[in-house]
Amino acid sequence: MTSCVNMMTDFENASMNKISISGIRVTKNEPMSKHTSWRTGGVAKQYIRAESLEALASYIAAIPDDEELLWMGLGSNTLVRDGGFNGTVIATQGVMSQIELLDETTVYVGAGVADAKLARFCSRNNLSGAGFFAGIPGLIGGALAMNAGAFGGEIWPLVVEVETINRKGEINKRKASEFEYSYRHVKGPKDEWFVSATLRLDKQRESNNAIDIKQLLAKRAASQPTGVASCGSVFRNPDGFYAAQLIEECGLKGKRIGGAIVSEKHANFIINDDKASAADIESLIKLIQKTVEDERGILLQQEVRIVGDSK
C-alpha cells in the first residue's frame, strides 16, 4: 500500500481535474447537484471515490485534521448550499458493499449497501424484520447515522455491533451498547463514521417477505411522491404529531419559493419542481418552520442535513 505521505505529495502536485491515486479517484470542484436527490447545490472542493476500504483508510489518514469531511451515500438526506462545500466529500456508494449471512439470523452489511438491497437480501434468506428498509431511499451508513426507519421499523433495534473508521484511518469494532439512539438520532464516539453493521433478525420458515415488501412499496407509492427530485421526509415527526399533517393544516401544500414546492401528495416532502436552487429549498424549509411554529406552537426539527456555504 502506498504510504500516506506519498499519497498526499501526489495529490498536492496534481494539476488535473480528475486524478487517480492508489485506488482513490479524486475530482476537484465537483457539482453536488449530481450526487444529491434534490439535484441542486454548489460544488465540493474535492470529491473522492475509493476502490476499497483499505485505500479509503489510507487516504483519510492523510487528509489534514482541519479539512472538513462530508460522507455522502445516495445524497437522499442532504442539501448542499449554492456556495458549495469547502472540504472533502467521501462517496460511500460502490465501496463497503459487502453483505453476507453470518449465521441463521445474523447479517453483516457494509455501509455502502443500499437499504432496499438489504431488504431484498433478507427476504431471499427468509429473515423477517427488515422489510421496512425497502422504504428508505439511502445507504446503510446513512441509516445508521440517523437511526433511519420507515413503516414503523428502525435500524438500531436490530444492531448487534458496528465497525467505524476515524480520521486516522483506524477501523474500530463497537458494540451497539456504546451508542445512544432515539427517533432519528444517534449519539456515539466523535469523528467516527460507520463502515458496517452486524444485524440480528428473526427467522421466518414460511416466508411471504417478498409479498410484504411489494405491499410496503405500493403503500409508499400511493402516499408519497416518487420519481421526482426530493429528499424524502424533510422534518421529523414531533411527539404526538405528524409533521405532514401540521404542514397541511397550515395551508402549505403547494407552497412555492422559486423552483421549490411543498408536495401536494405529501406535505413533508419538498420537490425541486423547476430548477430550484438550494437557497429556494432552504427558504421554503424556514418558511414551513416559522408558519407551523406561529400557528401551532411547534418548531419542526429538520430530518435533512444542510451543509456548505451560501452564495
Q: Is residue 10 part of a domain?
A: yes
Same domain, 129 and 189: yes
Same domain for 87 and 109, yes or no, is no
Q: Tens digit of pLDDT for each residue in 120-155?
A: 999 999 998 999 999 898 999 999 999 999 988 999
Question: For residues 141 and 3, what is the distance between their CA atoms, to the nearest angstrom?
Answer: 27
Please tell me whether residues 238 and 176 are part of one structural domain.
no
Per the domain annotation, does 216 fall within a domain?
A: no
Last residue of a domain, one of 91, 112, 133: 91
Same structural domain, 107 and 206: yes
Question: Among the three residues 91, 120, 143, which one is the final residue of a domain in this structure?
Answer: 91
Q: What is the pLDDT of residue 5?
A: 37
Taking only the tens place, the pLDDT of each residue in 154-186 is 999 999 999 999 999 999 999 999 999 999 999
Fill in the amino acid letter for 215. Answer: Q
* Digit-coded pLDDT (tens) for 224-239: 898 899 999 999 999 9
The residues facing 90 across adjacent strands are 48, 71
Catalytic site positions: 184, 233, 303
* Domain interval for residue 76: 4-91
| Domain count for the chain | 3
One domain for residues 107 and 205: yes
CA distance 92 to 67: 18
**What kind and span of H or E run contains 287?**
helix 278-296
Whole-prediction pTM: 0.88
Return the pLDDT at 207: 57
104 within a domain of the structure (yes/no): yes
State the Cα–Cα distance between residues 153 and 291, nearest whole angstrom: 30
